[in-house]
């Protein structure tokens, strides 16, 4: 039997960071007292009508642009009818057959659709783990009810749990950089559900999928998908079949359990919302959305790789626009130093130096002026100081800022350029280590370390390692 | 013709408790009404666009500006079972 | 005081403006008249008991009776349903707010078919409204209370809502003027939804000029209603006296044999009068109008099934004491809170939307709607107006049609097509006719429909015709004002019982 490949599609709910709700003027909030942000509209009192929040449309258009989606010339809202206390109207205003955006892609994952809808209220199940079942009563808090959401649905293009989690991170980063959402999984402003199935590698049919919910961190998302893929593979290899169902992830033990559906009869009776008129984004709205896009992580990473950065370093910087900006400023004034080298200093030595004794500052916030780092890198490249001394200077820059040249002089770290001086130090070191010298002559190259160490000790690291090696061999007549 | 089972299914969807007597009456009445309504099924309308709005409006949008929300006491004043600043409901049962 | 109550709303406005009429005395006289309600027409009256109040800075208009489907802050609003018994809205509907701001005090809130579902007002949880012309008969519905208070001298004018005829049909059965404006002319905000794509607020008045005045106050786009557009400019008071150069279409398919003989006579006589006034009468095809009822009784219940899902015993209104889990609470609350007709329509609408039936019912009905609108557009390319009787019959007896829902639905035969097309239509009293099976003569309504947003033209023509007909909207011998004169015979039932 062919080995089973994973087929994963994601459904992502993004809470938009508008000031007010989707269809009323109540302010959005998180963690406030229950039911302090409600009005007749979001409590679904008799006679009220929804009015669409323009900002939510503009934010959705930004997401559509970032995901390279086609925007529907006329998209409409539908009513999704179901009874549950978190849905005050007993229908959710959502988009159904004509979503505002579709046919996009992010990285190499195709986006099926992105549509607008309103969030449900929060239910606290009294004396209960928070899952749907349990006894006693539930309390409803309508503060969250009506928060604007964009639901993004991918094609089943992901082939593994790690790949899917990594892509979800890229999406989170992309949406965050658009400035349209807090994308905080713990707080629920980003919610990722996964449709998971397996199939014989190479087959183009889709296996029966299960839907995974409640994975409120990327770690849980990946663990949840891994666990479910393992379960499905075992099941099928054991001759069993997968049943389509919704599985609820339990953070406590990382297990998945079938979720009792809210409605035992799933028939949402969608029909066009008669209280709202079509959304027809104007050319201007669409252009504004496109033009407002920052350079997004995928594009930025590609550009950095073009500049010669390693893939992982490029991705690291692209995910952190602030540090990326800092990197570009340094590279700007770094003269001959290659961007690759600058990037390694920024993400390597500098990042480490900043973390020293629990530092919190980012590169951009730090005392290390881009020009100063550029100068420091230049000195190391020009062998004015050794790499080791470079780190010492960097530590000083992080601590007090200032000009690296001045620090080099003050600390007396300038590399010994007078070769006469270095030669005599080497000579002395060779004298002092006769047996090491003997071993080297008899071909044991490793033994040179002892003499180099002695020289470096004597010069306090101000000598260039390569030069020292050369002089020792010369001294031994090799 | 609407069967008893359909009446029960629809009543479930509508969260409408019906007495046995009502179920029986509904089956008959709905059948009668739908018999009349079914005549439109005979019209040849494949090419016709459906009308869900008679007004020709689009992009009726609201500026993203907060309004005054209700005082919580007012919001809860009409509730059958308010408690601790929230609306209390019986818990949904697993077997619901 | 009777003469004071004889003033139309337009006359009263002028008299108050010129200082010839004291708003205080006038208001008191109407409050006294309203207190004499023996028709079960009012569910709430201003100043009766502790049940809230609606204040007006300085009254400058006749006090108005409001159908109890309009939310009024702090004042009970029931939509004629048990499920909203005791509900006091936290806000006021745009229509009522506009009236109050214009200086019209609210006289009271009128009885209605539950959630506006009915054509006889027998579906109110608070008892049927009696027809002031014959208390053994229905006033029509669903705005029966608003029609009865105006015809019965319990209010100078009123507002109601019309989804498939709920203003025009009771106006017809009570012998007054009822106007359903173009969909979108008046805000629906705060008007409890029955069928959102059809519901429209409108005036019930003694004459066409009062209707014009009321419409000029109510109309206008509202930021709280995305589907409201207003009329562009407020209509002015009509004073046209002839119909010269105007073309009136009678539907060629008009099912004359479905119309009561007496109603038919009055209809034909009215057509003759139109010609006397210089108007032209011809037939125009409206081939799909006959399918109006079918389309309407799919679309309206479907939207209603969704609009009424919010009455779930969670945030306001009644909750069953039954106990049990969440689903039991829903089912018992809605079982106890809703009346028979509302349950019937919720079932019908839920069925029409449920998976497997959507295309055959809801989808198909929306296409019929398109065809009906197209029929009207074609007619209006050649004609100024389309005319029909408003109702196939005069007021029928209480309980006469309650057993047969379909027969009841067919009362809306002539009014539903205009609702589906979203166009304005007015019913004016055209004369009296003896009901089938005999009995004292009762009012007959004449319906005139116009193209969307042609309200001014519609009001002008209706006014000219009304003046020529000279119908006396004071039912002789009907309870009129506080003195209540002699009463017609007939059932006194109804009243408080549910
Ligand atoms: Mg969704
Ligand atoms: Zn709100």
The residue that leads in pLDDT, A232 or C50, is: A232
pLDDT exceeds 50 at position C492: no
What tens digit of pLDDT does each residue of B62-77 get? 999 999 999 999 999 9
Q: Using the mean position of ligand 2's atoms as its centre, give its distance from the Cα of residue A41 in Å.
A: 5
Chains in contact with A, counting 3 or more C-beta pairs less than 8 Å apart as contact? B, C
Residue A256, SS3 per DSSP: strand
Q: Judge whether C143 and C205 are in contact, CB under 8 Å.
A: no
Neighbours of ion ligand 2 (CB under 5 A): A 24, 26, 39, 41-42
Least confident of A108-112, A411-415, C37-41, C70-74: A411-415
Give first-to-last CA distance, chain A, whole Å.
63
pLDDT score, position A125: 84
Average pLDDT (C6-31) is 96
Q: Using the mean position of ligand 1's atoms as its centre, give its distance from the Cα of residue A149 in Å.
A: 8
Burial of C247 from C-beta contacts in 10 A (0-12 / 13-18 / 19+) = middle
Cα dihedral A134→A140→A142→A144 (10° resolution): -30
pLDDT score, position B75: 97
Tokens 């692209």 belong to A318
The residue that leads in pLDDT, B49 or B92, is: B49
Tokens 């079914």 belong to B38
CA dist C66 and A171 (Å) reads 54
pTM of the model: 0.88
pLDDT score, position C156: 97
CA dist A78 and A270 (Å) reads 6
Least CA distance to C344: which residue of chain B?
B26
Task: State the pLDDT confidence band at C483, using cuts at 50, 70 and 90.
Answer: very low
pLDDT score, position C497: 36
What tens digit of pLDDT does each residue of C79-114 get? 999 999 889 999 999 999 999 999 999 999 999 999
Phi and psi for A315 in degrees, rounded to 5? -65, -40
Residue from B78, A90, A118, A24 nearest C189 by CA: A24
What tens digit of pLDDT does each residue of C112-159 get? 999 999 999 999 999 999 999 999 999 999 999 999 999 999 999 999
Q: Judge whether A131 and A123 are in contact, CB under 8 Å.
A: no
B86 closest CB neighbour out of A20, A56, A139: A139
Least confident of A13-22, A456-465, B84-93, C204-213: A456-465
Most confident of A296-310, C248-262, C410-424: C410-424
pLDDT exceeds 60 at position B94: no
Q: Is the peptide bond before C142 cis (omega within 30 degrees of 0)?
A: yes
Q: Judge whether C199 and C227 are in contact, CB under 8 Å.
A: no
pLDDT score, position C489: 32
Least CA distance to C228: which residue of chain A?
A275
The residue that leads in pLDDT, C339 or A399, is: C339
Q: Judge whether C8 and C206 are in contact, CB under 8 Å.
A: yes
Neighbours of ion ligand 1 (CB under 5 A): A 151
Q: Radius of gyration (Cα) for chain A, nearest Å? A: 31
Average pLDDT (C186-208) is 98
Mean pLDDT over each residue of chain C, to the nearest integer: 93
pLDDT score, position C258: 86
Tell me the shortest Cα–Cα distance from B56 to chain C, in angstroms: 9
The list of chain A residues with pLDDT below 70 reads 1, 127-135, 260-265, 417-418
Q: Is the peptide bond before A243 cis (omega within 30 degrees of 0)?
A: no
pLDDT score, position C479: 45
A83 closest CB neighbour out of C196, C309, C358: C309
Contact between B60 and A84 using a beta-carbon 8 Å cutoff: no
CA dist C308 and C121 (Å) reads 19
Residue C180, SS3 per DSSP: strand
pLDDT score, position A1: 57
Please identify every residue of C annotated as catalytic: 67, 142, 166
Task: State the pLDDT confidence band at C263, using cuts at 50, 70 and 90.
Answer: very high
A38 closest CB neighbour out of B60, B75, B92: B75
Q: Which helix (H) or strand (E) holds A112?
A: strand A109-118
CA dist A351 and A369 (Å) reads 14
DSSP state for residue A195 in the 8-state scheme: E
Total count of residues recorded for chain C: 498
pLDDT score, position C1: 45
pLDDT score, position C53: 77
CA dist C74 and A48 (Å) reads 16
């Amino acid at each position: 039997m062919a080995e089973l490949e994973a087929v994963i599609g994601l459904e992502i709910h993004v809470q938009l960071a508008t000031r007010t709700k989707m269809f009323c003027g109540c302010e959005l909030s998180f963690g406030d007292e229950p039911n302090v942000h409600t009005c007749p509209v979001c409590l679904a009192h008799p006679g009220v009508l929804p009015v669409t929040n323009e900002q939510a449309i503009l934010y959705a258009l930004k997401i559509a642009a970032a995901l390279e989606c086609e925007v529907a010339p006329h998209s409409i809202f539908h009513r999704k009818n179901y009874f549950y206390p978190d849905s005050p109207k007993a229908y959710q205003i959502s988009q159904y057959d004509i979503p505002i955006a579709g046919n996009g892609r992010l990285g190499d994952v195709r986006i099926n659709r992105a549509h607008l809808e309103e969030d449900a209220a929060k239910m606290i199940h009294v004396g209960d783990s928070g899952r749907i079942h349990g006894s006693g009563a539930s309390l409803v808090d309508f503060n969250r009810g009506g928060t604007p959401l964009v639901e993004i649905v991918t094609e089943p293009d992901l082939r593994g749990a790690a790949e899917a989690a990594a892509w979800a991170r890229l999406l989170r980063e992309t949406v965050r950089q658009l400035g349209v959402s807090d994308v905080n999984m713990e707080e629920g402003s980003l919610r990722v559900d996964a449709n998971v199935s397996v199939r014989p590698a190479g087959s183009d049919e889709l296996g029966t999928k299960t839907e995974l919910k409640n994975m409120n961190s990327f770690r849980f998302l990946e663990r949840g998908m891994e666990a479910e893929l393992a379960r499905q593979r075992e099941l099928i290899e054991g001759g069993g079949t997968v049943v389509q169902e919704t599985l609820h992830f339990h953070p406590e033990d990382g297990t998945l359990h079938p979720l009792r559906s809210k409605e035992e009869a799933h028939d949402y009776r969608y029909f066009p919302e008669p209280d709202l008129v079509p959304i027809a984004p104007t050319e201007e709205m669409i252009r504004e959305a496109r033009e407002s896009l920052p350079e997004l992580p995928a594009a930025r990473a590609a550009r950095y790789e073009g500049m010669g950065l390693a893939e992982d370093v490029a991705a690291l910087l692209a995910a952190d626009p602030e540090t990326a900006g800092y990197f570009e400023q340094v590279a700007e004034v770094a003269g001959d130093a290659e961007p690759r080298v600058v990037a390694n200093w920024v993400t390597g030595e500098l990042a480490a130096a900043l973390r020293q004794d629990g530092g919190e500052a980012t590169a951009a916030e730090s005392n290390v002026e881009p020009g100063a780092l550029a100068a420091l890198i230049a000195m190391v490249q020009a062998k004015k100081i050794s790499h080791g001394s470079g780190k010492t200077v960097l530590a000083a820059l992080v601590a007090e800022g200032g000009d690296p040249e001045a620090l080099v002089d003050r600390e007396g770290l300038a590399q010994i350029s007078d070769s006469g001086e270095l030669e005599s130090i080497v000579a002395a070191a060779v004298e002092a280590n006769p047996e090491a010298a003997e071993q080297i002559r008899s071909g044991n190259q490793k033994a040179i370390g002892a003499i180099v160490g002695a020289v470096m000790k004597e010069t306090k690291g101000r000598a260039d390692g390569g030069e020292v090696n050369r002089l020792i061999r010369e001294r031994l007549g090799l | 013709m609407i069967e008893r089972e359909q009446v029960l299914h629809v009543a479930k969807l509508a969260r409408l408790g019906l007495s046995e007597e009502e179920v029986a009456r509904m089956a008959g009445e709905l059948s009668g009404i739908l018999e009349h309504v079914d005549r439109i099924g005979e019209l040849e309308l494949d090419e016709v666009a459906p009308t869900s709005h008679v007004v020709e409006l689009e992009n009726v949008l609201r500026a993203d500006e907060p309004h005054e929300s209700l005082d919580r006491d007012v919001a809860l004043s009409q509730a059958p079972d308010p408690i601790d600043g929230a609306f209390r409901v019986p818990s949904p049962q697993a077997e619901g | 005081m009777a003469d004071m109550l004889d003033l139309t709303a337009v006359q009263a406005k002028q008299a108050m403006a010129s200082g010839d009429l004291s708003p205080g005395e006038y208001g008191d006289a109407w409050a006294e008249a309203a207190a004499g309600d023996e028709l079960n027409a009012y569910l709430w009256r201003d100043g009766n008991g502790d049940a809230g109040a609606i204040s007006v800075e300085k009254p400058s208009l006749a006090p108005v009776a409001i159908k109890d489907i309009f939310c009024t802050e702090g004042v009970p609003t029931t939509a004629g349903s048990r499920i909203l018994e005791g509900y006091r809205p936290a806000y006021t509907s745009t229509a009522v707010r506009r009236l109050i701001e214009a200086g019209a005090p609210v006289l009271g809130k009128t009885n209605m078919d539950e959630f506006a579902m009915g054509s006889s007002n027998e579906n109110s949880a608070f008892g049927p409204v009696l027809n002031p012309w014959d208390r053994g008969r229905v006033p029509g519905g669903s705005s029966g209370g608003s029609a009865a208070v105006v015809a019965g001298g319990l209010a100078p004018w009123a507002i109601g809502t019309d989804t498939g005829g709920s203003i025009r049909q009771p106006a017809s059965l009570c012998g007054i003027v009822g106007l359903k404006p173009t969909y979108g002319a008046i805000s629906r905000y705060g008007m409890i939804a029955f069928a959102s794509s059809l519901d429209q607020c409108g005036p019930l008045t003694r004459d066409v000029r009062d209707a014009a005045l009321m419409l000029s106050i109510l109309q206008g786009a509202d930021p709280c209603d995305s589907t409201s557009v207003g009329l562009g400019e407020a209509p002015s008071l009509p004073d046209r006296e002839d119909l010269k150069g105007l073309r009136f279409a009678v539907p060629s398919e008009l099912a004359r044999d479905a119309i009561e003989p007496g109603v038919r006579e009055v209809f034909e006589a009215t057509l003759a009068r139109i010609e006397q006034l210089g108007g032209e009468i011809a037939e125009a095809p409206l081939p799909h109008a006959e399918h109006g009822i079918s389309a309407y009784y799919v679309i309206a219940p479907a939207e209603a099934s969704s609009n009424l899902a919010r009455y779930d015993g969670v945030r306001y209104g009644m909750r069953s004491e039954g106990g049990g889990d969440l689903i039991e609470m829903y089912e018992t609350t809605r079982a106890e809170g809703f009346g028979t007709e509302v349950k019937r329509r919720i079932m019908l609408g839920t069925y029409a939307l449920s998976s497997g039936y959507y295309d055959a019912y809801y989808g198909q009905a929306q296409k019929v709607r398109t065809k009906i609108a197209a029929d009207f557009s074609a007619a209006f390319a050649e004609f100024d107006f389309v005319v029909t009787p408003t109702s196939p019959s005069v007021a029928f007896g209480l309980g006469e049609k309650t057993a047969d829902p379909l027969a009841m639905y067919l009362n809306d035969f002539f009014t539903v097509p205009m609702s589906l097309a979203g166009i304005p239509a007015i019913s004016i009293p055209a004369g009296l006719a003896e009901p089938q099976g005999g009995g004292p003569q009762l009012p007959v309504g004449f319906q005139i429909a116009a193209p969307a947003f042609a309200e001014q033209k519609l009001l002008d023509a209706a006014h000219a015709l009304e003046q020529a007909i000279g119908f006396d909207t004071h039912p002789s011998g009907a309870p009129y004002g506080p003195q209540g004169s002699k009463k017609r015979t007939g059932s006194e039932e109804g009243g408080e019982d549910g």
